[in-house]
Structure 1
Amino acid sequence: MSIVPSRHELRKENQENIHPHLALKEDGVKQNIVRRGALGELGNQLKDLHPEKVNNDKATKPKEKVAVQLGGIKKVDNIACKENLERKTVREKPNKESDESPDSNDYTHDIMKYMQQLELDFPIKKRFLTGTKVTASMRAKLVNWLVDVHKSFGMDHDTLFLAISVADRYLQVNRTVDRTQYQLVGTAALMLAGKFIDVYPPSLEDYLYVCNDAFNKKQLLQMEVSLIKSLDFRLGFSIPIFFLRRYCKLAEVTLEEYQLSKYILELALLEYSVAHVRPSIQAAAAVCLAQAIFNDSMTPGLTYWTPVFERVTSYTYADFKHVLHEFACIVNRAKTAKDNVVREKYASSKLMKISTNLRLQGKLIKKYAAIPVKHEMF
């Protein structure tokens, strides 16, 4: 049995055990939804919880809340939300020289080819922020905030990747968005992605509350309409996590390697320099780097990108070597970055404290971190 959970299993866990509305029904306790400021410099500040949002029933004690200071934004984890528990079965490493693959008896190969074609048909352009009023720094702050809100709502993992993809694509076609509108774009993108993927997405009121009344109901709905029209009603874009699951299943990675691969991809969401890189390329670089890190290999291309992977993915190591280099640098920078919600998220014991693992300070990471990345290659 593969250690990589199926999307159906992850959804089931999310909706039954994590989503605030279901937790409310099961526990019989009114849960607190925390208001978050909009992005520090973008203007909004966190306010105290409204009295009407707090359960005054002293007979029922709510679960513990953990407060963390993130720059100028005080973040309190939603007490109704829990992180997904990945299954901890570890499989033996496959024979990487085998010509056999799990694709031989199903439609997986055709699906992968179709998703790769979608990457070419609907790409995120290189330097798509050029000419807009949104900067790379503003984008990083928004993504960081969206990761926090997404985690608090306990939404499907794919929802986060799709939401950021939608927000980036919107800026490609609407270059008039400024700093006062950018959080509205991100919130509407998350709401739209939640409707597309989650079985029980958060309510409209939840989004308004968590955004600290930075905008009203009418504005959020209007932005949602603007997003979907600008994207020509297309939301089935390729996202890195889709390819990552496939590649991890093919490689039969360990649980630690799987978690590290996800951590690398989520860190990459904050980086404007790789936002335009094809999702399948990002996934290939993440899984190859994760395996090399946990096996102390200095030659990830030779050791882990075998002819089987080349045939299944249609990529050689040379196709994503520069992306792997950039990912290694991103992992290295994350150790000292301030207000990095992704790093804090993956420091949880439920995610094996992967962001604090000492192997992330190994020779391979140091080797790539010492070499400047040539962004003109991207």
Structure 2
Amino acid sequence: MGSRAVVVPDQQPRGRGGKQKNGQAEGRNRRVLRDIGNLVPVPTVEEKPQNQISRPKPLAEVVNGGGAVKAAAAAHKKHFDPPKPETVIVISSDEELESEEKKKPVAVIARKSRVGSSRTMTSILTARSKALCGPTTKPKDPIADIDAADADNELAVVEYVEDIYKFYKLTEGESRVHDYMDSQPEINSKMRSILIDWLTEVHRKFELMPETLYLTINIVDRYLSMNAVPRRELQLVGISSMLIACKYEEIWAPEVSDFIVISDNAYVREQILIMEKAILGKLEWYLTVPTPYVFLVRFIKASVPSNDHREEMENMVFFLAELGLMHYPTIILYCPSMIAASAVYAARCTLNSNPLWTETLKHHTGYSEDQLGDCAKMLARFHSDGGGVEKSKLKAVYKKFSSPDRGSVALFPPARSLLLVL
């Protein structure tokens, strides 16, 4: 903070009578003291206290009422006041670049002018062109609202369906089985495929719900992964698993006697009930699991939001999915949601849907087209290997989806685009 200057009046010569000269002469001979940055004490006389001398007004101020002096003072203040800093507004990145380069050494500026100047100016011009012309990239396809048509359907639970499927995705790993054939001394993957093929035929004869077949396969695999089963009891595990699934899914479940008849009296009632109890004990009664079926229903809806061609797509998707579940490597290598999404992708490739994968499918499945490639190729190979019924002994799935009520989708040629890259 600047020091306050005290102006001390000059000692004027006195006249004969000890009186000062008139105010005009005093105003003409006085000097204006500047701010010297320090306090100057006023000399005093011990005998008499010196009266403070006030500066008289100039004659011009007295005569003209102070108007001229005020104008002169204003002009003087305008002349000597320090200029106020101006606000600098940067309107272009060129000025900012120029000001930054002024602060740097000459060598740095020269090097930048040789190396980065053209790149900087190019990027600036490109940015300005994009701002004027608008975005050049093609916008992504909008995500369709697949639940809009079911807004008034209370059974569709539109308010909770997204949270339900998020929960399915989080918990599908808990009921997924891993490679267990090494722990089965009398059973191999071929025997398992024969069992699933027979259970598919039984499921069709009893006209059961689709959910029952998928839950039956899940129960069979989970029990075989926990307990070693003799070869002679493998079919018993199959019919007991289907009995449990029917009690869980069906309104009118088949009776134990029906399974005895369908198995050609290979087992008695007590054997089926004992195996049923053993399976439930091993699984700890954990039956509410996300099978591929729950994902298939949702992903088919995302694939065909409207009812146009939905039946054909639905039959093809279920055909490929059941082909995959019948083969042991599919359920070992891939989780239920990926099997379902790959079945949808392979079905779209088989039916030549355009595009093969959409943003809506990517959003609801959680998988990109590249992630589904391997599993979809496997399903297409299963379709190709069974193109002729004589090529495969496992005919239940092909018979089921060769019938007119299933759209005869098993007779369609397999996806060529997936087979060419094998």
Question: What's the TM-score once normalised by structure 1's chain length?
Answer: 0.67
**What amino acid does structure 1 have at the position aligned with 2:141?**
E
Q: Which moved more, 1:108-117 or 1:245-254?
A: 245-254
Listed as ranges, the matches of 1:158-177 within 5 Å are 158-174=211-227, 176-177=228-229
**What amino acid does structure 2 have at the position aligned with 1:290?**
A
What corresponds to 2:316 in structure 1?
A: 260
CA displacement at 1:129 relative to structure 2: 1.6
What corresponds to 2:240 in structure 1?
A: 188
Distance 1:349 1:99 in 2: 34
Q: Does 1:348 align with 2:403?
A: yes
Distance 1:209 1:180 in 2: 17
What corresponds to 1:221 in structure 2?
A: 273
| Equivalent residue for 1:208, pick from 239, 255, 260 | 260
| Contact in 1 for aligned 2:376/2:418 (Cα 8 Å) | no
| Contact in 1 for aligned 2:377/2:419 (Cα 8 Å) | no
- Larger RCO (CA within 8 A; separation ≥ 6): 1
Distance 1:251 1:339 in 2: 29
What corresponds to 1:232 in structure 2?
A: 284
Q: Deviations over 1:110-129 (max 9, x none)?
A: 1101111221222211x222
CA displacement at 1:185 relative to structure 2: 0.4
Q: Which runs of 5+ in 2 are unaligned?
A: 1-139, 149-157
Distance 1:210 1:295 in 2: 40
CA displacement at 1:103 relative to structure 2: 5.3
What corresponds to 2:358 in structure 1?
A: 306
Distance 1:283 1:248 in 2: 9
Aligned residues: 266
Q: Deviations over 1:247-296 (max 9, x none)?
A: 11112163212110000011112100111221110110011111121117
Q: Does 1:101 align with 2:145?
A: yes
**Structure 2 SS opposite 1:304:** coil
Question: What's the TM-score once normalised by structure 2's chain length?
Answer: 0.60
What corresponds to 1:74 in structure 2?
A: none
| Contact in 2 for aligned 1:332/1:365 (Cα 8 Å) | no
Q: Which moved more, 1:267-276 or 1:192-201?
A: 267-276
Q: Which runs of 5+ in 1 are unaligned?
A: 1-95, 298-302, 372-378
What corresponds to 2:393 in structure 1?
A: 338
Q: Deviations over 1:201-247 (max 9, x none)?
A: 11110001111111111110010001111111111111112111111
Distance 1:128 1:318 in 2: 28
Q: Which moved more, 1:197-206 or 1:235-244?
A: 235-244
| Equivalent residue for 1:197, pick from 249, 271, 279 | 249
| Equivalent residue for 2:231, pick from 176, 179, 186 | 179
Q: Does 1:289 align with 2:358?
A: no
Distance 1:153 1:169 in 2: 24
**What amino acid does structure 1 have at the position aligned with 2:190?**
S
**What amino acid does structure 2 have at the position aligned with 1:102?**
I
**What amino acid does structure 2 have at the position aligned with 1:343?**
Y
Distance 2:199 2:212 in 1: 11
**What amino acid does structure 2 have at the position aligned with 1:260?**
M
| Contact in 2 for aligned 1:103/1:109 (Cα 8 Å) | no
| Contact in 1 for aligned 2:302/2:364 (Cα 8 Å) | no
| Contact in 1 for aligned 2:181/2:189 (Cα 8 Å) | yes
**Over the residues paired in the alignment, what is the CA RMSD in angstroms?**
1.9
**Structure 1 SS opposite 2:288:** coil
Distance 2:146 2:325 in 1: 29
What corresponds to 2:199 in structure 1?
A: 146
| Contact in 1 for aligned 2:292/2:339 (Cα 8 Å) | yes
Q: Deviations over 1:100-152 (max 9, x none)?
A: 43358521111101111221222211x22222021011001101110111100
Identical residues among aligned pairs (%)? 26
Listed as ranges, the matches of 1:72-151 within 5 Å are 97-102=141-146, 106-125=159-178, 127-132=179-184, 133-151=186-204
What corresponds to 2:118 in structure 1?
A: none
